[in-house]
């Protein structure tokens, strides 16, 4: 694995992730005002962003370790400061008018979880229908689980043929790192263990005892 960049130069040759990402092909929304708001959110929290989005039209973004409610405003700051349109899954029952309008505008994807394999099938279908889509997933599924990573994110990646991208939360340095596309082997257990071990050895969540 490549070593993480140091604090003074998060990514060699890239000093402003939001500006460096402005020419990428990732799904975007917003403009200069929303980008300023996102940067302000991160600054007020004392955090900064390192790295940039890759030149990919579709990704599954694994945000980890997820150990605190503060991860949500961090994610919001990340999205807005890079003008990223990020999608996320939510149970279909919650998409009732008028909330459905707001949820969809914010990137929510309604999922009917009642059928076997529903999440994988439905999410893969959404990926196949869209030209661009970044889907955010926290593989722990909860802020308090140390047991392991749920494997649904990998099943979706395999089914939709979409890369996995790591976004690391490091409370030690207060850096949110747009890290790397993870090389998948196609073996569920191998890939899941490798991603989990990499995140745990490289990053530390806000509440490390929960990671």
- DSSP-derived 3-state class of residue 143: coil
Residue 177 belongs to some domain of the structure: yes
Write the pLDDT tens digit of every residue in 45-75. Answer: 999 999 999 989 999 999 999 888 899 889 9
Note whether residue 141 is domain-resident.
Answer: yes
pLDDT digit string, tens, across residues 159-181: 999 999 999 999 999 999 999 99
Find the domain containing 178 and state its range. Answer: 51-76+84-210
In a domain, 164, yes or no: yes
Q: What is the mean pLDDT of residues 78-102?
A: 75
User: Does the residue 179 lie in any domain?
Assistant: yes
**Burial (0-12, 13-18, 19+ Cβ within 10 Å), 89:** buried
Write out the H or E segment, with its range, that includes residue 135. Answer: strand 133-137
Q: Give residue for tokens 């690391």.
A: 168
Q: Roughly how many angstroms between the first and final C-alpha of the chain, as a whole number?
A: 21
Classify residue 192: in a domain, yes or no: yes
Domain count, the chain: 1
Q: Does some domain include residue 6?
A: no
Q: How far is CA 137 from CA 37, 42, 147, in A?
A: 23, 20, 17
Measured over the CA atoms of residue 145, residue 147, residue 148 and residue 153, the dihedral's sign is: negative
Question: Of all residues in the chain, what percent carry a pLDDT higher than 90?
Answer: 52
39, part of any domain: no
- Top mean pLDDT of 60-74, 94-108, 190-204 is at 190-204
Residue 3 resides in a domain: no
**Length of the chain as a residue count:** 211
pLDDT digits (tens, 9 = 90+) for 71-87: 988 998 999 999 998 88
- For 122-155, the pLDDT digits (tens) are 889 889 998 999 999 888 755 455 557 889 899 9
pTM for the full model? Answer: 0.80
* C-alpha of 115 from chain center: 26
For residues 158 and 138, what is the distance between their CA atoms, to the nearest angstrom?
Answer: 17
């Amino acid at each position: 694995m490549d070593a993480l960049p140091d604090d003074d130069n998060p990514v060699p040759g890239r000093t402003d992730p939001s500006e460096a990402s402005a020419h990428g092909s990732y799904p975007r929304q917003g403009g200069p005002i929303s980008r300023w708001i996102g940067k302000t959110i991160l600054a007020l929290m004392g955090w900064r962003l390192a790295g940039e989005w890759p030149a990919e039209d579709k990704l599954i973004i694994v945000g980890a370790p997820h150990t605190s409610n503060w991860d949500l405003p961090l994610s919001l700051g990340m999205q807005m400061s890079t003008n990223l349109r990020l999608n996320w899954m939510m149970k279909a029952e919650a998409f009732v008018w008028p909330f459905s309008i707001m949820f969809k505008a914010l990137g929510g994807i309604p999922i009917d979880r009642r059928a076997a394999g529903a999440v994988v099938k439905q999410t893969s279908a959404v990926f196949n229908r869209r030209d661009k889509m970044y889907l955010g997933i926290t593989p722990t599924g909860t802020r308090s689980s140390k047991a392991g990573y749920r494997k649904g994110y990998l099943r979706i990646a395999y089914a939709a043929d979409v890369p996995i991208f790591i976004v690391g939360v490091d409370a030690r340095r207060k850096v949110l790192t747009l890290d790397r596309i993870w090389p998948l082997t196609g073996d569920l257990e191998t890939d899941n263990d490798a991603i989990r071990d990499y995140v745990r050895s490289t990053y530390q969540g806000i509440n490390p005892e929960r990671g």
